[in-house]
Amino acid sequence: MSRPPHDVGDAPAPARADDAAQAIDWDALDQAALAVRTRAHAPYSRYRVGAAILVRSGRLFTGCNVENASYGLTICAERSAIVQMVAAGERDPIALTVATSGPVLGSPCGMCRQTLAEFAVDFPIRLIAAEADGVPPRTTSLSALLPEAFGAAALSR
């Protein structure tokens, strides 16, 4: 029996997140992002990225970047994880880890930031380096990365 794409395999499941104040198991998110990063399809840039999103129900969704020879068709890890989240019927992300190679921590691109903002005004985002010893993780937030995000309210008539 195969596992669904959002299943993180044997990675420990984070604690159920009934409210935003509950502690987030960053180690579980980090390990899930690192694991899925190894499955990225990045033959052109060799820049592999993994993302793990925790939703309010306690479920965890992962995604990796998938490059295409027609660069505009490439999908980033963060959007890949969001697609898995939506396909599973979830809509309420509360935390995200993004794993890149390092030594410079990579943050979500503009398109990913806007996609994340479709589902939440703000939540913590942890950036980690997979292949750079001594590079400490950094935690930021969606609102810090995308202040004054465009949203559904701008479309109301």
Nearest to 38 by CA among 51, 28, 55: 51
Active-site residue, selected from the candidate residues 78, 90, 118, 148: 78
Q: What's phi and psi for 139, nearest 5 deg? A: -110, 130
Active site residue 78: yes
For tokens 């701008």, what's the residue?
154
DSSP 127: E
* H or E element that contains 32: helix 26-37
What is the CB neighbour count within 10 angstroms for residue 2?
A: 5
Residues with catalytic roles? 78
